[in-house]
Amino acid sequence: MTKDIIEDKLQKDLTKMENKKGSLIEHFTDSFLNTFLDKTFFRIFFVLVAIFLLLIFILLLK
């Protein structure tokens, strides 16, 4: 009887910990994506990558 109660308690604690871990990962992922996909940041990033690729292309042609 006592063993079943302890196992049940441990299983509930494990489930709670897994739920907290999942919600933390989701929170950080969402905040990162919201920052990355911000229009001004994305435009600047896209322009810098385009310039970088253009420079590499020009250097390879020489």
- The answer to whether 41 and 35 are in contact (CB under 8 A) is yes
Range of the domain at 30: 2-61
Dihedral sign for Cα atoms in the order 31, 36, 37, 41: positive
Q: Give the Cα separation of 50 and 47 in Å (integer).
A: 5
Instruction: Indicate the number of domains in the chain.
Output: 1
Q: Output the pTM of the full model.
A: 0.39
Instruction: Kindly report, residue by residue over 24-40, the tens digit of the pLDDT.
Output: 667 776 776 666 666 67
Q: What is the mean pLDDT of the chain?
A: 77
Amino acid found at 28: F
